[in-house]
Amino acid sequence: MTLRIGNASGFYGDRASAWREMLDGGELDVLTGDYLAELTMLILGRDRLKDPATGYAKTFLRQLEGFLGTAKSRNVRLVTNAGGLNPAGLAAAVRALADRLGLDVAVAHVEGDDVTAQIDGLTANAYLGAFGIAECLAAGADVVVTGRVTDASLVVGPGIAHFGWARADLDALAGATVAGHVLECGTQATGGNFAFFTELPDGARRPGFPLAELHADGSSVITKHPGTGGAVTVETVTAQLLYEIGAPAYIGPDVVADFGTIRLAADGPDRVRIEGVRGTPPPPDLKVGVNALGGFRNAMTFVLCGLQIPEKAALVRAQLTDSLGADGLEFTLARTDHPDASTEAAASALLTVSIKDPDAKRAGRPFSQAAVELALASYPGLALTAPPGDATPFGVFTAAYLPQSEVDHVAVLPDGTRIKIPAPVVTANMAISPKNSDREPSGFFETRRAPLGERFGARSGDKGGDANIGVWARDDRGYAWLRDQLTVTKLQELLPETVGLAVERYELPNLRAVNFVVRRILGDGVAAGTRFDPQGKALGEWLRSRIVDLPA
């Protein structure tokens, strides 16, 4: 018996047509949509400050109008975390929409993740598990709306409801968690953001969204609808498995899935089987994502063209520091210029000046106007990429923890019945030691100087102020080299911006991969970041571009 679960959204702003594409493209039992990220919670928090009736992903409601009738007629159940900070509000809006469309739709929601009464912040939301979703589905819900649950719970919940898994079915829950992790980011599993995208049949021009054929033992096959773009291969699935992870022990509220036990195998064209995943009891505490207002920010970008780029950048730094003071100012010079360039754009570099300050006034017009006032009084050829603007507030993300027993996880069924989801009885704390020690290089490879990415793929992403960089080899011999050569020391040599930061390294031989977690490289998180790449999405590609002694 197989449960076919699809995904139609990987983030707030994903392809609007995906819901219709997934419903029309082939058979499904459940269709999920993931809208929430740490930055999204801050955005929704700001929405709710303006209007307490909002706080959910409004785009979902607009999209739903075009496909709710189709989903109902085809018996495809919808599960989404688009409820954000107001799942009850979105559930009520879905009921109103169904009434207006003349549809008999049973709508349920999951709440209890909002713990701002216990932890102070603009938003403070616990990452709930999947058993509340399962209760809603078991009660006959056609649409289940949640607030903050773990991304994988959107897949695990339907699995619990369909197969009757209990909390003790740890391996099944772990396998479904892995399938959920693969689906959660949509087309990243089918060739989107894939290191070797040029090798895909259509060059990843329009990847289709993924689905999982989930089985009673928690194993699954990842695939996509026939005729859709991109590809599902062992490598595209590996890339997504490495996305935004830490230690091989992938901690969730219902189970800890051991990513070191995952077995991947091709199962036909655009089909990858996942099996063998082992699970252990979850921790006693739930992670809580806390967003607080950190102050105000602004930025101006100067175009520096031609010769003496460093000297021109230094002049701007000195002039703005004299005018505004050094507090809160950051200068980032991107050397996009080329010598003897045939176009003006190719001859130019970009200097971005950012400010973060508790005072909205200082970070606003006084800052941007100070940049504009340099137009006739600074380096030759001064140009700005945008006019002056006002400061905008930014948030700071931190993680907190609460005992699972202190969080009221509640399933609100279609008839209004409220079912409290009990915390797991059996829990365990896990300590995973990173493998940071440098091996003695084996020395049996002939080498040549070339970019790391010629032979190895990578995927990176953010987790609050941290970032991960997962690197995988394409064959066993490549993994032997990767395991021995890509140490923490080597990573910091190749990526100098990681020097001085805590770096953890984990080995995943079953995936031919190593994973690095770089602590605090993103500062106070995405919303507060002034890095060129504030979400760390391109760290893996930067690493792949570095020249190393590759095995010949």
List of the chain residues with pLDDT < 70: 431-433, 435-445, 526-527
In a domain, 425, yes or no: no
Supply the range of the domain harboring residue 452: 447-551
CA atoms within 13 A on the CB side of 159: 34
In a domain, 179, yes or no: yes
Domain count, the chain: 3
pTM greater than the 0.85 cutoff: yes
Phi-psi bin for 258: left (phi > 0), alpha (psi -120 to 50), beta?
A: beta
The verdict on 336 and 189 lying in the same domain is no
The verdict on 116 and 168 lying in the same domain is yes
The verdict on 221 and 353 lying in the same domain is no
Classify each residue of 24-63 as buried b or exposed e, where b means 16 or more C-beta atoms within 10 Å of its C-beta: ebbebbbbbbbbbbbbbbbbbbbbbeeeeebbbbbbbbeb
The verdict on 285 and 157 lying in the same domain is yes
The verdict on 185 and 311 lying in the same domain is no
Q: What is the per-residue pLDDT for 437?
A: 47
The verdict on 356 and 412 lying in the same domain is no
Task: Report in angstroms the alpha-carbon separations of 334 from 297, 302, 304, 378.
Answer: 20, 10, 10, 19
Helices 234-241 and 170-183 meet at what angle, rounded to 10?
A: 100
In the numeric block, the tokens 């905008």 are attached to: 392
The verdict on 60 and 24 lying in the same domain is yes
In a domain, 145, yes or no: yes
In a domain, 7, yes or no: yes
Q: What is the CATH number of the domain that holds 342?
A: 3.30.70.2750
For residue 345, give every residue at least 6 positions away whose Cβ sits within 8 Å of its Cβ, in sequence order, or none. Answer: none
The verdict on 149 and 220 lying in the same domain is yes
Q: How far is residue 160's CA from residue 173's CA, in Å, rounded to a whole number?
A: 8
Q: What is the per-residue pLDDT for 156?
A: 98
In a domain, 437, yes or no: no
In a domain, 430, yes or no: no
- What is the pairing mode between strands 513-518 and 503-508? antiparallel
Q: How far is residue 340's CA from residue 348's CA, in Å, rounded to a whole number?
A: 11
The verdict on 241 and 355 lying in the same domain is no
Share of the chain above pLDDT 70, in %: 97
Q: What is the per-residue pLDDT for 27?
A: 97
The verdict on 138 and 62 lying in the same domain is yes
Q: What is the per-residue pLDDT for 61?
A: 95
The verdict on 237 and 350 lying in the same domain is no
Among candidate residues 512, 491, 508, 509, the one with its CA nearest the CA of residue 500: 491
In a domain, 442, yes or no: no
The verdict on 259 and 374 lying in the same domain is no
In a domain, 426, yes or no: no
